[in-house]
Amino acid sequence: MALEKIAGVRAAARDVEPFVADLFKAAGVSAESAEACARALVDASSRAFDTHGVRLIPFYMQGVTGGRINKTPTLTVTEKAASAVHIDADDGFGHFASYRAIDEAAKLADKTGVAVATVGRSTHHGATGCYTRYAATKGYVAIGMTHADAMVVPHGGAAAFFGTNPLSFAVPVEGEDPLLLDMATSSIPFNRVGLRRATGTPLPEEVAVDDQGHFTTDPNAAVWVAPVGGAGFGYKGSGLAAMIDILCSAFTGMGHGKTMASFNGPDFSKPIQIGHFFILLSPAMFQTLSMFDARISSFVEDLRAQPGKPGQTVHAPGDIEKVEAKKRAVEGIPVDNVTWAALEGFAAKLGVKVPSSTVDAV
Amino acid sequence: MALEKIAGVRAAARDVEPFVADLFKAAGVSAESAEACARALVDASSRAFDTHGVRLIPFYMQGVTGGRINKTPTLTVTEKAASAVHIDADDGFGHFASYRAIDEAAKLADKTGVAVATVGRSTHHGATGCYTRYAATKGYVAIGMTHADAMVVPHGGAAAFFGTNPLSFAVPVEGEDPLLLDMATSSIPFNRVGLRRATGTPLPEEVAVDDQGHFTTDPNAAVWVAPVGGAGFGYKGSGLAAMIDILCSAFTGMGHGKTMASFNGPDFSKPIQIGHFFILLSPAMFQTLSMFDARISSFVEDLRAQPGKPGQTVHAPGDIEKVEAKKRAVEGIPVDNVTWAALEGFAAKLGVKVPSSTVDAV
Helix (H) or strand (E) holding A294: helix A289-304
Last residue of a domain, one of A267, A288, A309: A288
d(C-alpha B281, C-alpha B113), whole Å = 6
Shared domain check, A84 and A121? yes
Note the pLDDT of residue B360.
87
Shared domain check, A170 and A141? yes
CB distance A118–B1 less than 8 Å? Answer: no
Q: Would residue A221 count as lying in a domain? A: no
Note the pLDDT of residue B175.
97
Q: Would residue B238 count as lying in a domain? A: yes
CB distance A82–B113 less than 8 Å? Answer: yes
Shared domain check, A238 and A142? yes
Note the pLDDT of residue A1.
41
Shared domain check, A128 and A13? no
Residue A20 vs residues A25, A294, B75, B132: alpha-carbon distances, Å: 9, 39, 55, 44
Shared domain check, A155 and A113? yes
Residue B96 has pLDDT above 70, yes or no: yes
**Residue A183 is nearest to which of B212, B239, B281, comparing CB atoms?**
B239
Work out the pLDDT band at A195, boundaries 50, 70, 90.
confident
d(C-alpha B226, C-alpha B198), whole Å = 20
Q: Taking residues A193-202, what's their average pLDDT?
A: 91
Q: Would residue A272 count as lying in a domain? A: yes
Q: Taking residues A196-204, what's their average pLDDT?
A: 93
Q: Would residue B216 count as lying in a domain? A: no
Q: Which one of A246, A273, A291 would you mutate to disrupt binding with B, by most B Cβ within 10 Å of its Cβ?
A: A246
Work out the pLDDT band at A307, boundaries 50, 70, 90.
very high
Residue A362 has pLDDT above 70, yes or no: no
Chain-centre distance of CA A64, in angstroms? 19
Closest by CA position to A263, among listed A148, A162, A154: A148
CB distance B161–A302 less than 8 Å? Answer: yes
**Residue A285 is nearest to which of B84, B240, B285, comparing CB atoms?**
B84
Minimal C-alpha gap between B253 and chain A (Å): 7
pLDDT single digits (tens) B190-244: 888 988 998 899 999 999 999 999 999 999 999 999 999 999 999 999 999 999 9
CB distance A243–B111 less than 8 Å? Answer: no
Directed axis angle between helix B13-26 and helix B57-66, to 10°? 10
Percent of chain B with pLDDT over 90: 95
Residue B79 has pLDDT above 50, yes or no: yes
- CB under 8 Å to A113, separation ≥6 — which residues? A83, A281, A282, A285, A286, B80, B81, B82, B83, B84, B116
Shared domain check, A78 and A53? no
Residue A353, classified by CB atoms within 10 Å of its CB into exposed (0-12), middle (13-18) or buried (19+), is exposed
Shared domain check, A170 and A55? no
**Is A282 in a helix, a strand, or coil?**
coil
Residue B1 has pLDDT above 70, yes or no: no
Other CB atoms within a 10 A radius of the CB of residue A30 amount to 18
Question: What CATH number corresponds to the domain at position B237?
Answer: 3.30.1370.60
Residue B362 has pLDDT above 70, yes or no: no
Helix (H) or strand (E) holding B278: strand B274-281
Shared domain check, A245 and A181? yes
CB distance B308–A283 less than 8 Å? Answer: no
**Is A2 in a helix, a strand, or coil?**
coil
Residue A2 has pLDDT above 50, yes or no: no
Residue A330, classified by CB atoms within 10 Å of its CB into exposed (0-12), middle (13-18) or buried (19+), is exposed
Count of domains forming chain B: 1
Q: Pairing between strand A84-88 and A114-122?
A: parallel
CB distance A295–B255 less than 8 Å? Answer: yes
Q: Taking residues A10-33, what's their average pLDDT?
A: 98
CB A297 within 8 A of CB A179: no
Q: Would residue B197 count as lying in a domain? A: no
Residue B103 has pLDDT above 60, yes or no: yes
Give contacts of B316 with chain A, Cβ < 8 Å: 242
Give contacts of A158 with chain B, Cβ < 8 Å: 306-309
Minimal C-alpha gap between A250 and chain B (Å): 5
**Is A341 in a helix, a strand, or coil?**
helix
Minimal C-alpha gap between B345 and chain A (Å): 37
Give contacts of B243 with chain A, Cβ < 8 Å: 143, 169, 181, 317
What's the full length of chain A, in residues? 362
Residue A94 has pLDDT above 60, yes or no: yes
Shared domain check, A247 and A145? yes
In this structure, is the dihedral angle defined by the CA atoms of residues B313, B318, B324 and B327, taken in order, positive or negative? negative
Residue A138 vs residues A86, A283, B82, B333: alpha-carbon distances, Å: 20, 11, 21, 50
DSSP B1: -
Give contacts of B229 with chain A, Cβ < 8 Å: 187, 228-229
Give contacts of A303 with chain B, Cβ < 8 Å: 154, 161, 242
For chain A, give the mean pLDDT: 96
CB distance A228–B214 less than 8 Å? Answer: no
pLDDT single digits (tens) A54-82: 999 999 999 999 999 999 999 999 999 99
Shared domain check, A157 and A57? no
Q: Would residue A216 count as lying in a domain? A: no
Last residue of a domain, one of A288, A305, A333: A288
Give contacts of A189 with chain B, Cβ < 8 Å: none
Give contacts of A187 with chain B, Cβ < 8 Å: 229, 232-233, 236
Q: Which residue in chain B has the smallest CA separation from A251? A: B286
Note the pLDDT of residue B7.
86
Q: Would residue B209 count as lying in a domain? A: no
For chain B, give the mean pLDDT: 96
Last residue of a domain, one of A264, A288, A312: A288
CB distance A156–B309 less than 8 Å? Answer: yes
Minimal C-alpha gap between A337 and chain B (Å): 28
CB A223 within 8 A of CB A209: yes
Directed axis angle between helix B129-137 and helix B94-112, to 10°? 40
Closest by CA position to A280, among listed A118, A78, A106: A106
pLDDT single digits (tens) A285-303: 999 999 999 999 999 999 9
Question: What CATH number corresponds to the domain at position A46?
Answer: 1.10.1530.10
Q: Which residue in chain A has the smallest CA separation from B184? A: A236
Residue A349, classified by CB atoms within 10 Å of its CB into exposed (0-12), middle (13-18) or buried (19+), is exposed
CB distance B114–A279 less than 8 Å? Answer: yes
d(C-alpha B319, C-alpha B180), whole Å = 8
CB distance B83–A83 less than 8 Å? Answer: yes
What residue numbers bound the domain in which A259 lies? 74-187+226-288
Minimal C-alpha gap between B15 and chain A (Å): 33
CB distance B80–A285 less than 8 Å? Answer: yes
Shared domain check, A100 and A182? yes
Note the pLDDT of residue B195.
85
Percent of chain B with pLDDT over 70: 98
pLDDT single digits (tens) B319-352: 999 999 999 999 999 999 999 999 999 999 999 9
Q: Which residue has the higher pLDDT, A51 or B172?
A: B172
| Nearest-5° Cα angle at B16, B360 to B263 | 95
CB distance A279–B279 less than 8 Å? Answer: yes
Shared domain check, A13 and A140? no
Q: Which residue in chain A has the smallest CA separation from B212? A: A309
Q: Pairing between strand A76-81 and A84-88?
A: antiparallel
**Residue B287 is nearest to which of A82, A230, A251, comparing CB atoms?**
A251
Q: Would residue A56 count as lying in a domain? A: yes
Minimal C-alpha gap between B226 and chain A (Å): 12
CB distance B204–A232 less than 8 Å? Answer: yes
Note the pLDDT of residue B292.
98
Note the pLDDT of residue B4.
55
Minimal C-alpha gap between A116 and chain B (Å): 7
- Give the end-to-end CA distance of chain A in Å, rounded to a whole number: 19
